[in-house]
Amino acid sequence: MNYMQFNGKILIVDDEPHIRKFFSLMLKSVGNPTIIEAGNGSEALALYDRHQPELVFMDINMPVMDGLESLERLVIRHPEARVIMLTSMATRSAVQQSIDHGAVDFLRKDIPRDAVAETLAAVILKHLPGVADVPVEAIRSAHAA
């Protein structure tokens, strides 16, 4: 029984619509979340203000305002924001910059669906207790990742 039921709001920020769709489909496999999409960091800030999502998945490299700048601005405006950064090339520097700017986790865009679910479970357990129904098996697998 390795499942999680998350029904909160998730903001997905990426300049590529197919990436937003891909993550939207993966995230819907762990419950019935409300998915909000933005194509750049500037849109993300406005949508976060309006919808106050529990989680944000944000690309690093985007036009208009990149992910690191929008992450920094978002965390200043909303210290409670829980942001998981996305990239196609996870360098040690990119990971460190994301953490330094306030991200709670970091994912490569090419990860399997199970890894997204495990990361989501770990972030919820650590930062959003009581927001989702997360069975013990999901907790164990999330901490083992």
pLDDT, residue 69, reads 93
CATH of domain 5-144: 3.40.50.2300
What's residue 141's pLDDT?
Answer: 46
The per-residue pLDDT string of the chain (145 residues; one tens digit each, 9 = 90 and over) reads 445 577 889 999 999 999 999 888 888 877 788 999 999 999 999 999 999 999 999 999 888 988 999 999 999 999 999 999 988 876 778 888 888 999 988 888 887 777 777 777 777 777 665 655 555 354 444 444 4
| Calpha distance 91→34 (Å, rounded) | 31
3-state SS assignment for residue 70: helix
pLDDT at 132: 53
Query: Where do the DSSP E strands lie in 27-122?
Result: 34-38, 55-59, 83-87, 105-108
Which token pair is 83? 């942001």
Q: Evaluate if pTM is beyond 0.75.
A: yes
Is residue 20 classed exposed, middle or buried when 0-12, 13-18 and 19+ CB atoms within 10 A define those classes?
Answer: buried
Q: What does the alpha-carbon distance between residue 4 and residue 132 come to, in Å, rounded to a whole number?
A: 7
pLDDT given for residue 131 in this prediction: 58
Polymer length in residues for the chain: 145
Of 1, 7, 41, 12, the C-alpha closest to 130 is 7
Residue with tokens 């601005």: 73
